[in-house]
Amino acid sequence: RTPSGGPPPHERGADGAILSRFGSVPERLSPTVTLAFRVRIEAEVRALEQELHLHLPKQIKEAREHGDLSENAEYEAAKDRQAFVAVRLAQLKRRLADLSMVSLDNIPADRVSLGSEVVVVDLDTQAESRYELVVSEEADASVGKVSTGSPIGRALMGARVGDEVNVHTPAGEREFAIRELRTIHERKAS
């Protein structure tokens, strides 16, 4: 049990299951999904669409004109690239669709969740750390941005100020206390 009276975040039932499955967020959830992130994904989609529909068909056509396709390395390389680009494009479009499915209304206003800024204290060392929970594409541990799917992110999801969480890391288990919490709702309001 946590100091706030509830079960640990990883055992919260239906509500907790929803929280622990956040792997994506809608692009409209600024500041969680930054404009730069959305622009980067959309630019990659545009570039891949252009490559798939304009450049690769030309390369394939030119390679076909070189004769026997069974021993045509240029043709094989272009076809392989075409398959790769099609798969990557589908992944990015699916990711953008996933991002538009989650509503800010589904993110709790009183617990650690996607977009939260959290200050934790390591109970062994008393060292204080600040984290922002983000989607995996924006994770950068060097600046305190951790993915909701990372060990620390999963442990923090659903916790409240005063709760203690265990984090399973490759280096062993660590225990943190939640000292401060600023949810996406509070960040959006300021």
Distances (CA, A) of 94 to 52, 87, 145: 17, 11, 23
Report pLDDT digits (tens) over 83-141: 999 999 999 988 887 777 666 777 778 899 888 999 999 999 999 999 999 888 888 98
Tokens of 73: 């390395």
Q: Provide the whole-model pTM.
A: 0.61
Give domain status of residue 21, yes or no: no
Residue 116 and residue 48 share a domain: no
Contact between 168 and 151 (Cβ < 8 Å)? yes
134 and 146 in a single domain? The answer is: yes
Domain coverage including residue 54: 35-101
Tell me the pLDDT of the chain averaged across its residues: 79
* CATH code of 134's domain: 3.10.50.30
Residue 59 has pLDDT above 80, yes or no: yes
Whether residue 57 is predicted with pLDDT greater than 50 in this model: the reply is: yes
pLDDT at 35 over 50: yes
Q: Are 179 and 121 in contact (CB under 8 A)?
A: yes
The answer, yes or no, to whether residue 26 has pLDDT greater than 60, is no
Regarding whether 42 and 113 lie in a shared domain, the answer is no
- pLDDT, tens digit (0-9, with 9 covering 90-100), for 8-21: 333 333 333 322 23
Q: Can you tell me whether residue 7 is helix, strand or coil?
A: coil
Q: Could you check whether the bond before residue 31 is cis, i.e. omega within 30 degrees of 0? A: yes
- How many structural domains is the chain composed of? 2
Q: Pick the residue with more confidence: 29 or 136?
A: 136
Percent share of the chain, pLDDT over 90: 47
C-alpha 147/C-alpha 115 separation (Å) is 10
Q: Could you tell me if residue 177 is inside a domain?
A: yes
Note whether 117 and 83 are same-domain residues: no
Q: For position 5, what pLDDT does the model report?
A: 42
CA separation for the pair 78, 56 (Å, rounded) = 6
